Chains A and B, each alone.
Chain A
């Protein structure tokens, strides 16, 4: 199979997946919320306005017509108006998605930047106390729920030492004209430290352990023996010869992690009041703001699928051994 037809096939698959997810989502919401506008009564909407909303989502029509309308709207990026924000859903969702991505990507980058070299180093010191401690702490942060480590971090750094801010992205009130205007400040960096650290510590375990284990496998290979025979220094063998060849499984794991990053870590966003997409979904479903909940989830899934696709394609370019199957 040529590279081109592989690409086309992957893109088609992604679109197919998205369609299935949209369908599942549609029926899930219709089953769980038979009348999504019921929540609007408490909002003080009169019957005419409510009827207008019902017409917009085609709630008076048969189910299959609603389904078709939902799909057409979704393809056109027309997700309606949020019940609680009274603003177009797409605007809200894109901003929240950016907030989630910046948190997740920062954490993933830090986790892999520390985890990979640390894992390589641990494999070199295999069997030592440092090695055991490394494995232990890596697994420990992987086992601790992030909402708990987050709460403890807030307790220690926010309350007891009161040196770091514990909620939000910026000190309120602030005015920023755009996303980058909001993010490119020291204040933002200051607010990001705790949540990013908590997510990074959680992710640290997998690159650390995968790198360590693959390195141990690589040490048995002939070319390492060869390098030793040439009389190269241990450190050169470790970082120049072994590490390079052990990177592949870590990169695979990185790809999977980045692919799922848009799903975010809802609890971290909740604990640190980070205005991300996961927290928005939680609030939207709680307040029965179904246009927002539906669109948030769909866009999140679309982003996950796109990232997966992108990472897959990048991966085939990086590793020529991967066949285009």
Chain B
């Protein structure tokens, strides 16, 4: 396991270098920089502008700026956000929590719904229920998350039951600890549903096809021949094997989940990593963009790593040496 972990972490290094370098070049290709907007303000004198440029190092050539940034990052210092004037690390940490919470909640929601539905539908293949739900799963996979987010916002406005966007209420700071948790959860419900729908749809289809494939396999026939009750056959033998691709999917679906979360955050005004990145991109806040992209990459790679470890845990046919040789 140690060798596997070390190998994976070594592979991550060139990846991070590549991603940050490309993003850095992209940001520097944009005409102007963060200061350009300030320079339009007549209240700020050209001396101050010059001074700020020197302070932020924006007067240096590209490679020097990248090298400086990298040197900082190696010392775990992500710099200071130009727009917020706050340490990027603390800013990202506070936002990443929200994104991770939202992603986790929607994964749990979609698994909790997709697995039982997938089993039920597969048991009644080609019934009206199966056909109806498979149409709905196509619908769920096709309606974009941002469109659902619009509908959810409208629903919140119309019903008044759920808060209209945001991560917490305006009076959040004044609440006691339990009310704070309740407030957070109340604000998470709609975004979780919105982000989870496509997951439910696609995982349900996956579950269905897995069960149908396994239902006629040899080991299931053996289990039936032993005289096991149908329930045990399905839940102990078929379901366990059908779950393996889910673990792999969880790792590789993470990129989509983060992307979807970014959009839902922007539409529903949730204080997550995606919205932070979007605003940073708009205002050319380079340290913040770089920090967020790096953070997104780390979240993704960590998720893939955890999924691989989980796969070893659930599937006895897979061990770390086979994973490492892939």
Indicate, yes or no, whether A interacts with B: no
